[in-house]
């Protein structure tokens, strides 16, 4: 049995809405907030649906202007490989990795800390040289999982990163982001996580990881608002705080 992802359902509803309104090629779509209210779904799902429709060629995103209808919703869309929405992926990472960080704080060794510091050095050098490579970032998160000494958790974290690398929706998101200054703030987040791990403080490690991934969404939200003149891309509104 094949179950569609929620953003795919929203994309279908958006197609129906465009068709019902008789919108023509070149017309600007209604504001994201309006779509959200009309369909009764979150803005995050609307954004994921728009990314999907952009990849399919139905809509076109114009920087500082908005989203425009590129073709008729009746046109047959090219086949799109099943993909995980970026919001869905970040949410899963936040829930999983915050708890992994807490467990790692109990199990971490001196050698683990040394390797994590090396990963942050790789990340720092990449930022300083303007290298878009995220290998240091990925390495740091993987090393935290390895510090738990639980191979299942390591595999789970690696699988989430693999899904990010394979995601055409994630790639489209990052095509729209041209200012890399946010990476400096994320490096500071990583340092806060590392400090909590060094102190073997599970609660602090959980909070630091949760806040880091919350900051990822909030920062990308700021630089990717389609209704803002400074618009560069998409992402998603934050979810609730960890209880």
pLDDT tens digit sequence for 163-202 = 988 888 888 777 766 566 788 999 999 999 999 999 999 9
pLDDT at residue 205, rounded to an integer = 98
Domain boundary assignment for the chain: 6-69, 86-222
Cα(67)–Cα(17) distance, rounded to whole angstroms?
A: 15
| 8 A C-beta contact, residue 44 and residue 87 | yes
Query: pLDDT tens-digit profile of 139-169?
Result: 999 999 999 999 999 999 999 999 988 888 8
Query: pLDDT tens-digit profile of 36-78?
Result: 898 999 887 888 888 889 888 899 887 777 889 988 776 555 5
Quick check: 103 pLDDT over 80? yes
| 8 A C-beta contact, residue 84 and residue 234 | no
Query: pLDDT tens-digit profile of 229-242?
Result: 444 443 333 344 34
CATH of domain 6-69: 1.10.10.10
| 8 A C-beta contact, residue 138 and residue 161 | yes
Residue 229: count of CB within 10 angstroms of its CB = 8
139 compared with 31, residue with greater pLDDT: 139
CATH of domain 86-222: 1.20.120.530
Summary mean pLDDT of the chain: 84
* Whole-prediction pTM: 0.79
| 8 A C-beta contact, residue 17 and residue 38 | yes
């Amino acid at each position: 049995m094949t179950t569609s992802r929620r953003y795919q359902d929203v994309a279908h509803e958006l197609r129906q809405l465009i068709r019902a309104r008789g919108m023509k090629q070149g017309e600007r779509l209604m504001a994201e907030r309006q779509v959200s209210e009309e369909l009764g779904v979150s803005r995050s799902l609307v954004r994921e649906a728009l990314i999907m429709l952009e990849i399919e060629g139905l809509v076109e995103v114009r920087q500082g202007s908005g989203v425009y209808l590129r073709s008729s919703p009746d046109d047959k869309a090219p086949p799109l490989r099943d993909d995980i929405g970026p919001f869905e992926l970040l949410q899963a990472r936040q829930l999983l990795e915050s708890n992994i960080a807490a467990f790692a704080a109990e199990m971490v060794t001196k050698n683990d800390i040394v390797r994590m510091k090396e990963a942050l050095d790789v990340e720092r050098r990449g930022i300083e040289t303007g290298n878009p490579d995220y290998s240091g970032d990925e390495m740091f998160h993987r090393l935290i999982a390895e510090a738990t000494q639980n191979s299942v958790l390591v595999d789970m974290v690696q699988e989430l990163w693999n899904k990010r690398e394979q995601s055409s929706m994630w790639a489209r998101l990052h095509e729209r982001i041209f200012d890399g200054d946010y990476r400096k703030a994320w490096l500071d987040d990583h340092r806060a996580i590392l400090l909590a791990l060094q102190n073997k403080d599970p609660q602090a490690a959980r909070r630091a990881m949760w806040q880091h991934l919350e900051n990822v969404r909030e920062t990308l939200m700021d630089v990717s608002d389609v209704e803002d003149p400074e618009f560069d891309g998409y992402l998603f509104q934050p979810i609730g705080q960890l209880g």
